[in-house]
């Protein structure tokens, strides 16, 4: 057993950890990072369908580490299964840089209204909607800071729900756009939609030792082989390590944060690759393991002043877990329906679509009333050959195909059309039926209780999702797409998880204070998406980055 001394110990290394690691290491403080997964670099991120999407290359083996998921049973109760039995992998990139290595890099800011959801729209029965303890103006400087620090490219175009900005444009020009973007623009104009080019955390050209985008077409779910993607590892942690003040320990699974009689955390205990126990002592501790695992670690970390787990005096740890509600749709742009030049452009792979619509970020509807809406975002169907083939094995009526019929369907799927998709993002309302707790029976390979996650959703989420999906469908129709399919579901997208340790001013209803410090634990902070009381109607990563930079500055000033 070894014991290491540090100024700051950070548990996790994803988007919520990277800004803290980077800021404090560059300020000269001794930072030790404990990451459960391996340390992959650019050379490790090859475009392998099996490694990406069929095997546990970048995530734990579900036989050793799994979750227990509770879903509605359709009769007013709940049905629980392990993710090993279901084959539903809830791990999201366990490696240095976390799931930010595998994101698509669609970056949106929250809007001012997202910070005042309850004040603006009032309460919703069955939902625990609250205002944030900070406002948009508190995060705006850190959103801006991210644009350069992480590397965000794009072009600011005015639209009805463009959020206030302190700078006129992004520091990097947009990534190359696919020809289908022009077709989207034209169809949106005919419909009166205000389509805009969205920002991406992807460098269009080399910068600060990182390469520019290679436009392989394999981006989301895949690691970046050039360093262009703004993962916490490529954008922030590599530079922190280069200072000599940061040590990253991969394959270090933290199983407990020990606390003293005063309630302060005094050590992070972890297992190394060989299963040996070690500890890191520090002045400050930061947890950023992604929402489910952060809540699990706090619940596992009981102590003299914290018999129910760190920050859990009022039973709030793990409560009000949120995901991103919505759904998706797709349509075929068949080459034969377009002139030869347009069809030739549609066949192209590699450049990005980079188009989104937020005309309905606030919905005014005769049936629904005045409610919070969301975002519709467009992208090409992923070129992953295995996934495309699996989808093609069914006919339009859901019947399984084989033989000559399957061959014809595969040929059609791969050669006759470009598949354009849209994704809908709207608020997943926090409820009492979406939470994390420790499972009383199931344990991982270290003998620790696994996280048990209840995934209840609010019916309001589906109403908003259906409304937005209808707008996405209308645009696909205006483009001449065929075989359009739309799906709205209450199943949580596991790559978009937040909440569980919401911040606020009242310890009875929140886990963290406005600085993201755990109530009753003077030296413990949480900086991943767990802090979010509500999620907004966009992807979370930019907000997680911005808030982590905000908290990192608080820690820097506290350390002196």
Longest distance between any two alpha carbons in the chain, whole Å: 75
Tell me the mean pLDDT in the region 182-187: 98
Give the model confidence (pLDDT) of 232-277 as tens digits.
999 999 999 999 999 999 999 999 999 999 999 999 999 999 999 9
Give the model confidence (pLDDT) of 533-557 as tens digits.
999 999 999 999 999 999 999 999 9
User: What is the H or E stretch that residue 350 is in?
Assistant: none
At 56 the pLDDT is: 77
Q: What are the E-state strand segments in 12-148?
A: 31-34, 68-72, 78-82, 106-107
The answer on pLDDT for 217 being more than 90 is: no
Provide the pairing of β-strand 199-200 with 253-259: unpaired
**DSSP letter for each residue of 483-551:** EEEEEE--S--TTS-EESS-B-S-TTT-SB-TTSBBTT-TTEEE-SGGG-SS-TTS-SHHHHHHHHHHH
Q: How confident is the model at residue 528 (pLDDT cuts 50, 70, 90)?
A: very high
Tell me the mean pLDDT in the region 373-401: 86
At 57 the pLDDT is: 85
The answer on pLDDT for 396 being more than 80 is: no
At 453 the pLDDT is: 98
Mean pLDDT of the chain, nearest integer: 95
Cβ–Cβ under 8 Å, residues 319 and 453: no
**DSSP letter for each residue of 405-463:** HHHHHHHHHHHSEEEEEEEEEEE----TTEEEEEEEEEE-TTSPEEEEEEE---HHHHH
Q: Which of 17, 542, 464, 531 minimizes the C-alpha distance to 321? A: 531
pTM for the whole structure: 0.97
Tell me the mean pLDDT in the region 70-87: 93
Tell me the mean pLDDT in the region 505-511: 97
Q: Which of 199, 103, 189, 218 minimizes the C-alpha distance to 151? A: 199
Cβ–Cβ under 8 Å, residues 64 and 444: yes
Close Cβ partners of 144 (under 8 Å, ≥ 6 residues apart): 165, 166, 167
Domain that holds residue 315: 3-559
How far is residue 168's CA from residue 211's CA, in Å, rounded to a whole number?
25
pLDDT cut 90: percent of the chain above it: 88
Give the model confidence (pLDDT) of 442-451 as tens digits.
999 999 999 9
Dihedral pair phi/psi, residue 237, rounded to 5°:
-75, -40
Q: Return the residue matching tokens 């595969």.
A: 410
Range 117-134 burial, b when 16+ CB lie within 10 A, else e: bbeebeebeebbbbbbbe
Q: Which of 4, 58, 59 minimizes the C-alpha distance to 32? A: 4
Q: Return the residue matching tokens 């966009």.
A: 538
The CA distances from residue 83 to 46, 189, 452, in Å, are: 27, 44, 10
Cβ–Cβ under 8 Å, residues 97 and 237: yes
Q: Helices (DSSP H) in 55-133: which residue ranges?
A: 83-86, 117-121
The answer on pLDDT for 53 being more than 80 is: no
Close Cβ partners of 376 (under 8 Å, ≥ 6 residues apart): 356, 357, 358, 360, 422, 423, 424, 468, 469, 471, 472, 475
At 414 the pLDDT is: 85
Q: Which of 60, 44, 53 minimizes the C-alpha distance to 233? A: 44
Give the model confidence (pLDDT) of 415-426 as tens digits.
899 999 999 999
Helix, strand, coil percent content, the chain, rounded in steps of 5: 30, 25, 45
Give the model confidence (pLDDT) of 190-203 as tens digits.
999 999 999 999 99
482: domain CATH number is 3.50.50.60
How far is residue 291's CA from residue 92's CA, in Å, rounded to a whole number?
11
Which residues on adjacent β-strands are paired with residue 418? 333
At 436 the pLDDT is: 98
At 148 the pLDDT is: 98
At 364 the pLDDT is: 95
At 447 the pLDDT is: 96
User: What is the H or E stretch that residue 559 is in?
Assistant: helix 541-559
Q: How confident is the model at residue 395 (pLDDT cuts 50, 70, 90)?
A: confident
Cβ–Cβ under 8 Å, residues 6 and 30: yes
Tell me the mean pLDDT in the region 346-371: 96
The DSSP secondary-structure symbol of 225 reads S
At 405 the pLDDT is: 87
At 411 the pLDDT is: 86
How far is residue 468's CA from residue 475's CA, in Å, rounded to a whole number?
11
At 196 the pLDDT is: 98
Token representation of residue 59: 């995530």
Provide the 3-class DSSP secondary structure of residue 402: coil
At 479 the pLDDT is: 98
Token representation of residue 497: 């998880």
How far is residue 547's CA from residue 114's CA, in Å, rounded to a whole number?
14
Token representation of residue 199: 């920002």
Number of domains within the chain: 1
At 432 the pLDDT is: 98
Range 158-168 burial, b when 16+ CB lie within 10 A, else e: eeebebeeeee
The answer on pLDDT for 52 being more than 90 is: no
Give the model confidence (pLDDT) of 105-161 as tens digits.
999 999 999 999 999 999 999 999 999 999 999 999 999 999 999 999 999 999 999
């Amino acid at each position: 057993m070894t014991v290491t001394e540090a100024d700051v110990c950070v548990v996790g290394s994803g988007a919520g950890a990277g800004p803290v690691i980077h800021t404090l290491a560059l300020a000269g403080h001794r930072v030790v990072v404990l990451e459960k997964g391996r340390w992959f670099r650019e050379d490790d991120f090859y475009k392998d369908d099996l490694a990406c999407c069929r095997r546990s290359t970048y995530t734990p083996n579900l036989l050793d580490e799994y979750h227990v998921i509770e879903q509605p049973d359709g009769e007013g109760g709940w049905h629980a299964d392990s993710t090993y039995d279901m084959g539903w992998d809830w791990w999201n990139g366990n490696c240095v840089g976390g799931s930010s290595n595998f994101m698509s890099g669609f970056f949106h800011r929250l809007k001012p209204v997202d910070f005042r959801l309850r004040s603006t729209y009032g309460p919703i029965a069955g939902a625990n909607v609250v205002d944030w303890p900070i406002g948009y103006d508190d995060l705006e400087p850190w959103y801006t800071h991210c644009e350069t620090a992480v590397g965000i490219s794009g072009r600011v175009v005015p639209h009805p729900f463009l959020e206030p900005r302190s700078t006129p444009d992004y520091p990097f020009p947009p990534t190359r756009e696919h020809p289908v973007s022009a077709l989207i623009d034209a169809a949106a104009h005919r419909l009166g939609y205000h389509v805009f080019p969205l920002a991406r955390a992807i460098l269009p050209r080399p910068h600060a030792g990182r390469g520019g985008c290679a436009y392989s077409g394999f981006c989301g779910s895949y690691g970046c082989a050039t360093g262009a993607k703004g993962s916490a590892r490529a954008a922030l942690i590599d530079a922190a390590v280069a200072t000599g003040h940061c040590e990253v320990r991969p394959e270090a699974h933290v199983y407990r944060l020990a606390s003293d009689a005063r309630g302060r955390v005094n050590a992070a205990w972890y297992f190394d690759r060989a299963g040996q126990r070690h500890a890191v002592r520090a002045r400050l501790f930061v947890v950023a393991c992604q929402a489910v695992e952060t809540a699990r670690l706090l619940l596992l970390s009981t102590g003299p002043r914290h018999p129910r787990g760190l920050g859990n005096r009022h039973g709030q740890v793990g409560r009000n877990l949120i995901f991103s509600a919505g759904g998706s749709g797709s349509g075929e742009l068949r080459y034969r329906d377009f002139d030869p030049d347009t069809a030739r452009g549609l066949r192209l792979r590699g450049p990005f679509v980079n188009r989104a619509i937020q005309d309905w970020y606030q919905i005014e509807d005769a049936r629904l009333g005045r409610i919070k809406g969301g975002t519709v975002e467009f992208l090409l169907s992923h070129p992953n050959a295995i996934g495309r083939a699996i989808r093609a094995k069914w006919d339009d009526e859901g019947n399984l195909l084989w033989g000559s019929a399957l061959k014809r369907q595969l040929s059609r799927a791969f050669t006759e059309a470009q598949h354009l998709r849209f994704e809908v993002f709207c608020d997943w309302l926090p409820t009492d039926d979406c939470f994390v707790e420790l499972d009383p029976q199931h344990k991982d390979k270290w003998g620790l209780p696994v996280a048990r996650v209840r995934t209840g959703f609010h019916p309001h989420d589906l109403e908003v999702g259906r409304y937005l999906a209808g707008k996405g469908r209308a645009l696909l129709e205006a483009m001449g797409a065929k075989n359009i399919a739309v799906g709205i579901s209450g199943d949580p997208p596991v790559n978009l998880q937040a909440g569980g340790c919401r911040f606020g001013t009242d310890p009875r209803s929140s886990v963290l204070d406005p600085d993201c410090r755990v109530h009753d634990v003077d030296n413990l902070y949480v900086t991943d998406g767990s802090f979010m009381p509500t999620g907004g109607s966009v992807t979370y990563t930019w907000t997680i980055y911005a808030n982590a930079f905000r908290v990192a500055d608080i820690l820097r000033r506290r350390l002196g």
